[in-house]
Amino acid sequence: MAEDKILRLILGDQLNEKHSWFQKPDPAVTYAMMEIRQETDYVKHHVQKVMAFFAAMRAFAEKLKKKGHAVIYLRLDDTKNQQTIEGNLQRMLKERQFARFEYLLPDEYRLDVELGKVAKTLSVSWAAVDTEHFFTQRQDLQDFFSGKKRYVMESFYRRMRKKHDILMDGDKPLGGRWNFDVENRRRYDGRVPIPKPKLFRNDVKDLHQMIERSGVKTIGTIDPQNLIWPINHSQSQTLLSAFLKHGLKEFGTYQDAMTTESWSLFHARISFALNTKMLHPLEVIDAAIRTWEKKQRSIKIQQIEGFVRQILGWREYMRGIYWALMPKLGHVNFFNHKAALPEYYWTGQTKMQCMRAALGQSLEHAYAHHIQRLMVTGNFALLAGVHPDQVDEWYLGVYIDAVQWVELPNTRAMSQWADGGLVATKPYVSSANYINKMSDYCSQCAYHRQKPYGEASCPFNCLFWDFFKRHQPKLQNNPRIGLMYRTWNRKDPKEQKRILKQAESYKRKLDSL
Ligand SMILES: Cc1cc2nc3c(=O)[nH]c(=O)nc-3n(C[C@H](O)[C@H](O)[C@H](O)COP(=O)(O)OP(=O)(O)OC[C@H]3O[C@@H](n4cnc5c(N)ncnc54)[C@H](O)[C@@H]3O)c2cc1C
Ligand code: SF4
């Protein structure tokens, strides 16, 4: 056995070319990357997601090779491919007689457990190494909130701003406030044109044929000659630059807006590039602040603060929540919801315009922006009482950026309140009122947004009241919800009865709404 031979594993979401591992080729080191059924099949993924991950992995391997690194890249259809990480590792270690194994710490609990177990069975020495991607370590958030009942994002975010000296003026927040949210969040009013999304035209025809030949089951659609998502660092930077040039100046203002005019509005669409680590969060924040500093007349502080909060605040916070609450987070079901996810989540075929728009673009582009995920599709699943396992499975499959460490806390905790309120003070549910306030959907809908019951009444309305009524014992003492129960109690009992009857009727035919 050659004493100095090291095998280093790189997972599909660890494409961080700035990592210290890759700074200069080392003749003793060989990198291993693998396309495996274990990862294509643990949930049914959007076809664009499978293509984008594999194309980005292939591009990364090629780049490493060009820089002089030794790489073993296993394609999905390679006859030697064992289709599991463990199987492939054991074979490589044996065949090539490596003396040591190293891997980058996985961000998914599932893979973390698996690799920890595999490593312990090896006859060679091994080590797990940081991915050098996040601002925080896994345990930081847990330590920060130790002994607290709730994990408040805002206090974590302030600490991050101070610690990393981002948008600070000494020890005070730049602009005099930590949070400019109240000035953000307007409905789209046509005042400024929406930028055309920057789309790439990556040809993944061969890869797509391989996937089809291999029988991998996917969801959604793709034009295999024009994959729109970035597959390397340079494309990721181009996408970021396009956002900084065209989107940042209105980012905060229209962050929560929804419109049938555009599927991406002023959003950055960099989550895939970030989650695969092709982009580094510090690189994104630095570039955004540099742009803002140069253009302070056209880009207001609330836009840059709003954007920085998403990355330095929400993204790191969700990662901390994940590591603090796993593996329990994967099973919680506070409301004991049991309904099946309606079929239209997989087809987009529903008469509800808001749902049709959000689901339709999710299936077409593997993307919906935050408020569509939270206040349309997530809101509806929660109101309808869908089992959180099914909701998770859908979110984990459908989005280009869906990796469990960020999908699960957003879906299970924030959107479905299945953690019983550790992350959010109250469930994110709404009737048609909020959807109409933030979008142009209701004016184009077959349902009437103002009707709480009766023919063509909006399903969100009666299901909203039904949700609060059926969970009254669990929610009535929540100080942020008291007003809701007072409003309900002021309603005429006959009206209450009609609303609840309507909800029952809609729940019975959930699949055909
Ligand atoms: C039910 C649900 C499921 C979600 N699943 C995922 C997921 O699987 N993967 C994922 O990356 N995000 C997820 N999010 C968070 C958020 O919706 C996406 O990060 C965002 O829509 C990505 O699009 P963007 O790059 O255009 O974001 P922008 O709106 O332009 O925001 C910029 C960046 O901020 C970060 N960010 C913003 N909000 C969040 C958040 N709540 N949590 C973590 N990071 C955030 C993202 O990295 C994003 O790229 C989910 C949200 C909900 C409500
Ligand atoms: S009326 Fe109801 S179902 Fe239709 S778009 Fe508005 S909120 Fe959605």
Q: Which atom of ligand 2 is nearest to the CA of 353?
A: 5
pLDDT for 148 equals: 75
Residue nearest to atom 7 of ligand 2 (CA): 432
Which of 475, 249, 364 has its CA nearest to residue 372? 364
User: pLDDT digit string (tens) for 73-86?
Assistant: 999 999 999 999 99
Exposed e or buried b for every residue in 94-132, given b needs 16+ CB within 10 A?
eeeebebbbbbbbbbbebbebbeebbeeeeeebeeeebe
Rounded distance, CA 467 to CA 462, Å?
9
Q: Which residue type, as a one-letter code, is found at position 423?
A: V
Flag whether pLDDT at 183 surpasses 90: no
For residue 121, is pLDDT > 80? yes
Ligand 2 centre distance from Cα of residue 42 (Å): 33
Looking at the chain, the whole-number percentage of residues with pLDDT higher than 90 is 91
pLDDT 10s digits, 446-467: 999 999 999 999 999 999 999 9
Q: How confident is the model at residue 130 (pLDDT cuts 50, 70, 90)?
A: very high
Query: If you ran DSSP here, which 8-state letter would residue 285 be given?
Result: H
Residue 423 near ligand 2, beta carbon < 6 Å: no
- Average pLDDT value for residue range 428-444: 97
Shortest-distance ligand to the CA of residue 273: 1
Q: Whose CA is nearest to atom 2 of ligand 2?
A: 458
Q: What is the mean pLDDT of residues 262-271?
A: 97
Does position 276 have pLDDT exceeding 80, yes or no? yes
Q: Are 287 and 247 in contact (CB under 8 A)?
A: no
pLDDT at 3: 55
- Span 31-61, pLDDT tens digits: 999 999 999 999 999 999 999 999 999 999 9
pLDDT tens for each residue of 379-396: 999 999 999 999 999 999
Give the residue from 443, 429, 442 showing the smallest Cα distance to 374: 429
Cα 441 to middle of ligand 2, angstroms: 7
In this prediction, residue 228 has a pLDDT band, given cuts at 50, 70 and 90, of: very high
CA distances from 148 to 13, 151, 178, 445 (A): 32, 7, 22, 44
| pLDDT reported for residue 96 | 86
For residue 271, how far is its CA from the centre of ligand 1 (angstroms)? 6
Q: What does the pLDDT read at residue 64? A: 98
**Burial class, 18, CB count within 10 angstroms (exposed 0-12 / middle 13-18 / buried 19+):** middle
The secondary structure of 216-280, three-state, reads: CCEECCCCCCCECCCCCHHHHHHHHHHHHHHCHHHCCCCCCCEECCECCCCCCCCHHHHHCCCCC
pLDDT of residue 7: 96
Could you tell me if the CB of 462 is within 6 A of ligand 2? no
pLDDT, residue 142, reads: 78
What pLDDT, on the 0 to 100 scale, is given for residue 86? 94
The pLDDT of residue 93 is above 70: yes
Q: How far is CA 478 from CA 190, 427, 471, 474, in A?
A: 38, 11, 12, 8
CA distance 366 to 361: 7
SS3 state of residue 61: helix
Q: How confident is the model at residue 317 (pLDDT cuts 50, 70, 90)?
A: very high
pLDDT grade, residue 378 (50/70/90)? Answer: very high
Sign of the C-alpha dihedral computed for residues 149, 154, 390 and 467 taken in this order:
positive
Q: Is ligand 2 within 6 A of the CB of residue 447?
A: yes
Phi, then psi, of 45 in degrees rounded to 5? -95, 160
- Taking the centre of ligand 2 as the mean of its atom positions, its distance from the CA of residue 352, in whole angstroms, is 6
Does ligand 2 have an atom closer than 6 angstroms to the CB of 353?
A: yes
For ligand 1, residues with CB inside 6 Å are 267-271, 274-275, 310-311, 314-315, 318, 369-370, 373-374, 378, 395, 399, 401-402, 406-407, 410-411, 414-415
Tokens of 191: 């005042």
